[in-house]
Amino acid sequence: MRSVGVEEELLLVDAGTGEPRALSAAVLGAADQAAVGEVEDHVFEKELHGQQLEFATHPQTRMAELAAEIVRCREEAMDHADRFGARVVALATSPLPVSPSLNAGERYRWLEEQFGLTTQEQLTCGCHVHVSVESDDEGVAVLDRIRPWLSVLLALSTNSPFWQGKDSGYSSYRSRVWGRWPSAGPVGIFGTAGHYHEQVDAMVGTGVLRDKGMIYFDARLSDTYPTVEIRVADVCLDASTTVLLAALVRGLVETAAREWRAGRPAAPVGVG
């Protein structure tokens, strides 16, 4: 059974007004204190903006265990935020007007210098699903074959109708904002792992992208883990929807891998 892990990005908001608050440094400090003496480090990390908090689950093979971990991580994040009069909410964009505050760090400063307003406005929260693969060859074969389903996964997860206090007219306005990055969105068929890596290296080599971490394809090979990472979804309002999304993604990955081993070609679906 393939293992599955989930990364969720959450909004930090004022407990009284619901307005996003730049408290990630304080909340992460509280998480560090709570983790002292624990066998495992805490699972929380900072994101681009101070109004965000991210967590990553451990790889799981049983969906019940994945569900329990997602709920536990959300509850722990809520406990840490509560110390500062805040809440964490699983919304892909803020329903209320907000002036995002960039977190400190060389990487974030570089993004602001290079991409200006795109970086400043990028207060969006996604859900990333990692599914284990045996090799880069299998991983790229999977990416080639799940392409027609990525828009369906986005449609199932939509959770960002509002932008700066207004109804955007979209179910997922996060996807519109995220698409401003030069490396974001759908891609064509790679065919081989070698071709995938050649394209990634060429994109990074232009200097437009800082590194491989800025490969923001809707689905990509993880540069850190032996997984494919499906990044197209909004963060889901309810944890059960996240679990459903993860189960569907694993099913798609397994089906695609079997098709590849059986010699079935990827469907020639365009990206335009």
What pLDDT, in 10s, does the model give residues 3-62? 999 999 999 999 999 999 999 999 999 999 887 666 566 689 999 999 999 999 999 999
CB count within 10 Å of CB 211 equals: 10
What pLDDT does residue 45 have?
A: 95
Note the pTM of the prediction, 2 decimals.
Answer: 0.95
Is residue 47 helix, strand or coil?
coil
Q: Which residue in 219, 158, 229, 212 sits closest to 185, CA to CA?
A: 219
Is residue 1 helix, strand or coil?
coil
What pLDDT does residue 185 have?
A: 95
CB count within 10 Å of CB 84 equals: 16
Q: What is the pLDDT of residues 103-146, one digit of tens each?
A: 999 999 999 999 999 999 999 999 999 999 999 999 999 999 99
CA dist 233 and 130 (Å) reads 12
Radius of gyration of the chain (CA): 18
Secondary-structure percent of the chain, ordered helix, strand, coil, rounded to 5 = 40, 20, 40
| Mean pLDDT (whole number) for 246-256 | 98
CA dist 58 and 157 (Å) reads 21
What pLDDT does residue 269 have?
A: 78
The correct answer on CATH 3.90.180.10 for the domain covering 4-261 is no
Tokens of 249: 């993604």
Q: What is the pLDDT of residues 77-87, one digit of tens each?
A: 999 999 999 99
CA dist 129 and 55 (Å) reads 12
Instruction: Read off φ and ψ for residue 104, nearest 5 degrees.
Output: -70, 150
| Mean pLDDT (whole number) for 254-272 | 90
Phi-psi region of 26 (alpha: psi -120 to 50; beta: other; left: phi over 0): alpha
CB 143 within 8 A of CB 219: yes
| Mean pLDDT (whole number) for 258-271 | 90
How many helices (H) and strands (E) would you count in the chain?
Answer: 9, 9
What pLDDT does residue 12 have?
A: 98
Domain limits of the chain?
A: 4-261
9: Cβ contacts below 8 Å, ≥ 6 apart: 47, 52, 53, 54, 124, 125, 126, 127, 235
Band the pLDDT of 272: cuts 50, 70, 90.
low
